[in-house]
Amino acid sequence: MKNVQWNIDCVIYDCDGVLFDSLDANSRLYNYIATSIGRAGLTYDELRYCHTHTVYESINHLFRHDGILEKRALELLKTVDLKDFIVYLKMEPNLIETLVALKKRGIRRAISTNRTTSMEGIMDQFALRPHFDMVVTALDVKHPKPHPESVKRILEELQADREKTLYVGDSDVDRDTAASSGVKFIGYKNREIALDGFIDDHLALLDFLSTGEHSQE
């Protein structure tokens, strides 16, 4: 075991799997698209891919072997209101309490997500706007995660120090985003991807930052 001590003034969060348990919502969306145009429902591996990539990357992945079906899926997507699936999101425990505490400590809070148009509705539905200083979606950048563009944009806009910035994510896409951006990374509920640390509850992040020490295997 070893103790690490960090001075953090900016925390960047992924959305799906970190702020929310969104597996059910994503499963409903992509299974609806798949079955509506005549293919089988998603496999577990397909769902995991769609859970961490943009909607356009996901459709391309699902229908990569059939250009005609991919075109039909993209046309169907135009008729789908992604906000209809927000009701299936489940906010992770102790999130708001953690965000409020971070603000009191002068730590800036941001979101970097591969979501697109649905993010606006999520921010409103769950009253998250007061709790974040900046949100960057796949629509705001030319290159979505794991490209470092979203994190770079946050660092520049918030004038945050890269060395004092921490990214909290749950997938290899998040891990690779942090690594390519040169910021520290904590795995949330996924010990396998933990580069610099691991937490299984948002409140654990508060303990980590308040003491400056964290046990890491």
Can you give the pTM of this predicted structure? 0.88
**Low-confidence residues in the chain, pLDDT < 70:** 1-5, 210-217
- Domain with 166 in it: what CATH number? 3.40.50.1000
Q: Are residues 150 and 45 in the same domain?
A: no
What local confidence, expressed as pLDDT, does residue 4 receive? 56
Q: Are residues 144 and 212 in the same domain?
A: yes
Q: Are residues 60 and 103 in the same domain?
A: no
Residue span of the structural domain in which 37 resides: 23-87
Q: Are residues 208 and 111 in the same domain?
A: yes
Q: Are residues 79 and 117 in the same domain?
A: no
Q: Are residues 119 and 16 in the same domain?
A: yes
Read off the pLDDT of residues 67-117 as tens digits, 9 standing for 90 and up.
999 999 999 999 998 889 999 999 999 999 999 999 999 999 999 999 998
HEC secondary structure over the chain:
CEEECCCCCEEEECCECCCEECHHHHHHHHHHHHHHCCCCCCCHHHHHHHHHCCHHHHHHHHCCCCHHHHHHHHHHHCCCCHHHHHHHCEECCCHHHHHHHHHHCCCEEEEECCCCCHHHHHHHHCCCHHHCCEEECHHHCCCCCCCCHHHHHHHHHHCCCHHHEEEEECCHHHHHHHHHHCCEEEEECCHHHCCCEEECCHHHHHHHHHHCCEEEC
What local confidence, expressed as pLDDT, does residue 214 receive? 42
Q: Are residues 111 and 187 in the same domain?
A: yes
Domain boundary, last residue among 66, 87, 108 = 87
Q: Are residues 64 and 137 in the same domain?
A: no
When divided into structural domains, the chain yields a total of: 2
Q: Are residues 56 and 111 in the same domain?
A: no
Q: How much of the chain, in percent, has pLDDT values that exceed 90? A: 84
